[in-house]
Structure 1
Amino acid sequence: MNTNIDPRLLLAPSLPQTADPAVKRKDPEKLRAACQDFEALFVHAMFKEMRKTIPQDGLLPRGMAEDSFQEMMDWELARQTSRSGSLGIAEALYRQLGGEEPPK
């Protein structure tokens, strides 16, 4: 049984439908940015779940400011990680969605 799902089928209903052929052209930079944003979202979720495994020592109570700072720092780290290409999720997704092959 083949359970592979084409990601383009998941995106098609959510994309705006226009009659202008210039709008329907592929924009590789926008596609790459969207793939990197998806990777950043995935990495942020991973960071969030990993932080849940760290026990709280209880010596100093955590406040809302520290939680907000931690959340913003995790988002920035996730963005930087996705932009660096070190995980390769964005690049794989980019190629899967029809982006050109990277130069060798």
Structure 2
Amino acid sequence: MASLINSTTGSMPNKALTPMFNGRPDPVLQDAMKKVTPQQITKAKATATDFESMFLNSMFSQMTTGLKGEGPYGDTVGTGAWRSMLTDEYSKNFAKSGGVGISNEVFRSLILQQANKS
């Protein structure tokens, strides 16, 4: 599934006429996006991507906690700080390039909530 909010060309994949949700056109989201400002859409995209990045960072941290040995995950004094910075950068890059789909769901929820307030 293509990421709605992380594509380089805007908020929707090039070939989509309407935003997609779970692989299907989402007219509810399309209507909601008409009710919010472009600034709100931009802020919702950033918030959703940041949320996914935090989730991925937590996952990557748990995955690498018990690793011992040589190399970047070795068991030395400075490894802990370095490992946390590495997992933080991994999670940001994963989220920016489409992530695992959490940001799409968060973005949709944020836009629908904001549209209902208007």
Shorter-chain TM-score: which interval? 0.5 to 0.7
- Counterpart of 2:5 in structure 1 is none
Task: Say which one has the larger Rg.
Answer: 1
Query: Runs of 4+ in structure 1 displaced over 3 angstroms?
Result: none
Instruction: In structure 2, list runs of 5 or more residues that go unmatched.
Output: 1-35, 113-118
Alignment length (residue pairs)? 73
Report 1 or 2 for greater relative contact order, CA contacts < 8 Å, sequence distance ≥ 6. Answer: 1
Identity percentage of aligned residues = 23
The 1:61–1:76 alpha-carbon spacing in structure 2 relative to 1, beyond 3 Å, is closer
Q: Distance in 2 between matches of 1:76 and 1:36?
A: 13
1:62 is matched with which residue: 76, 84, 91?
Answer: 76
Taking the aligned partners of 2:80 and 2:50, their CA distance within structure 1 comes to 22
Tell me which residue corresponds to 1:13.
none
**Unpaired segments ≥5 residues, structure 1:** 1-23, 100-104
- The correspondence for 2:100, drawn from 83, 87, 93, is 87
Residues 67 and 52 (structure 1), Cα distance of their counterparts in 2 relative to 1, 3 Å cut: closer
Q: Aligned residue for 1:98?
A: 111
RMSD between superposed Cα atoms in Å: 2.4
TM-score of the aligned structures, taking structure 2 as reference length:
0.53
